[in-house]
Amino acid sequence: MKLTPSSYLVLGMVRLGARSGYAIKKAADASTQAIWPTSLPQVYPELARLEGGGLVTRKDDPKGARARSAYRITDKGEAAFQSWLRSTRVGPLQFRDEGSLRLFFADALPREEQLALVKRLRERALREKNWLRGELIPQAESIPTDPRYPALVGRLGADSWAYWERWFARLEAQINRDGSTNDKTLES
Amino acid sequence: MKLTPSSYLVLGMVRLGARSGYAIKKAADASTQAIWPTSLPQVYPELARLEGGGLVTRKDDPKGARARSAYRITDKGEAAFQSWLRSTRVGPLQFRDEGSLRLFFADALPREEQLALVKRLRERALREKNWLRGELIPQAESIPTDPRYPALVGRLGADSWAYWERWFARLEAQINRDGSTNDKTLES
DNA sequence: GCTCACATGTAATCCGTTACATGATTCT
DNA sequence: AGAATCATGTAACGGATTACATGTGAGC
């Protein structure tokens, strides 16, 4: 049985106490969305697979007339999860950004338009940072059972966006100053 | 005709002088790989689509007995490219990282293993930074026709990885010191 | 009474990667 | 002579998103 990072996301959320598929998706939206997004049509088949492999168990848990399932992690599931956490192979980070791609080709634009593009990128960084600090991190801090790392990962994201914001702000200043972007680095 | 960021990547590389599909892939590996990866089986059909839409033209350009195509951007292609560069809609950044996901769930590990995980993440950041500074940026600096932004985007990537490296180093120090990761931020 | 959140799924589609297939040229 | 690079594709597969489909419960 092959387990992907999405499998471990679902398994991990069950482990932290999310019982239904819906609850797992809700928890993921409030915490791991920025590092590993998922969707309901992915969660439900994944839960069925994990159940088939004996990593979680399912119980009927209707609320009134509304059908609902309650999942729990098994010992086998816990072992698989621990083994994943400890594995030394770090998969490659997947990154794709249309904004950065535009910047890559920005030599084709007049300076004014270059500036507008950089400004949009800086503003996006600001928006993302504010969303993480204002929405995601507070929610991550309220995750049950030892809630240290969820909030920490949120801070890593927020700090990274803050770094981008500063980086683009310096680039804007540089383009405004003399149009030269040939300095060795913009790193602080 | 619908154009995706991958379309504009191919179009942009043709615009910068890459003639064959193979040359486009080679150029992308040496420059945009980290922000928008692509593959040969994606490039060839994309070139055919762009040709069908009249954004590029194709000429036979055999080298000896070996078949080869030479692509050029058309006026229509140049207009589409410019329009894309200027569009104010910034698509969302796509980010997926198994390493960050592991960190999210790291409360399940004993402190020693937490430390090992963070160390692996810091070392990955170091490797990526070194690869960008040592390999990608020098190549990006040698891209023909005004080569300002390609190298700039490389520096953004390298600076970002350097930031992660410092962030994880501070986290390591903190875990080593007292195991507390409840500080407000690790941002410098 | 209406709207939003809760709850579960399937079907169709899209985008991208890996594997397959072939062959010429250049460098060692 | 053999390996690496140049060069072009097709086929199969996989993972993820969007659209479709249905219905209950809670709050305003």
A137 CA, D12 C1': Å apart? 42
Looking at the predicted structure, is the pLDDT value of residue B181 above 60? no
CB contact under 8 A, B90 and A104: no
pLDDT of residue A188: 55
Indicate the burial class of A78 (C-beta count within 10 angstroms; 0-12, 13-18, 19 or more).
middle
Query: Which chain B residues are closer than 8 Å to A149 by Cβ?
Result: 103-107, 181
User: From the candidates B6, B14, B35, which should be mutated to test the interface with A, based on the most A CB atoms within 10 A?
Assistant: B35
A102 CA, D20 C1': Å apart? 35
pLDDT of residue A186: 54
Cβ neighbours for A13, distance < 8 A, ≥ 6 positions apart: A23, A24, A27, A28
Q: Where are the beta strands (DSSP E) in chain A?
A: 56-60, 69-73, 94-96
Model confidence pLDDT, tens digit, residues B84-116 = 999 999 889 999 999 999 999 999 999 999 999
Averaged pLDDT, B6-35 = 97
Q: How confident is the model at residue B186 (pLDDT cuts 50, 70, 90)?
A: low
Averaged pLDDT, B24-31 = 97
pLDDT of residue A145: 63
Computed over every residue of chain B, the mean pLDDT equals: 93
Question: How far is CA A16 from each of CA A78, A142, A155, A179, rounded to the nearest angstrom?
Answer: 11, 12, 20, 51
pLDDT of residue B155: 97
Cβ atoms B136, B33 nearer than 8 A:
yes
Task: Report how far residue B157's alpha carbon sits from residue A167's, in angstroms, rounded to the nearest whole number.
Answer: 11
pLDDT of residue A41: 98
A15 CA, D16 C1': Å apart? 23
pLDDT of residue A183: 46
pLDDT of residue A143: 75
Cβ atoms A90, B98 nearer than 8 A:
yes
Tokens of A137: 């991190």
pLDDT of residue B183: 46
pLDDT of residue A150: 96
Q: If chain A, 188 residues long, is cut into consecutive pieces of 10 residues, what is the mean pLDDT of each piece?
A: 96 97 97 98 98 97 94 98 95 96 97 96 97 94 79 97 98 82 51
Whose CA is nearest the C1' atom of nucleotide D5? B22
CB contact under 8 A, A85 and B104: no
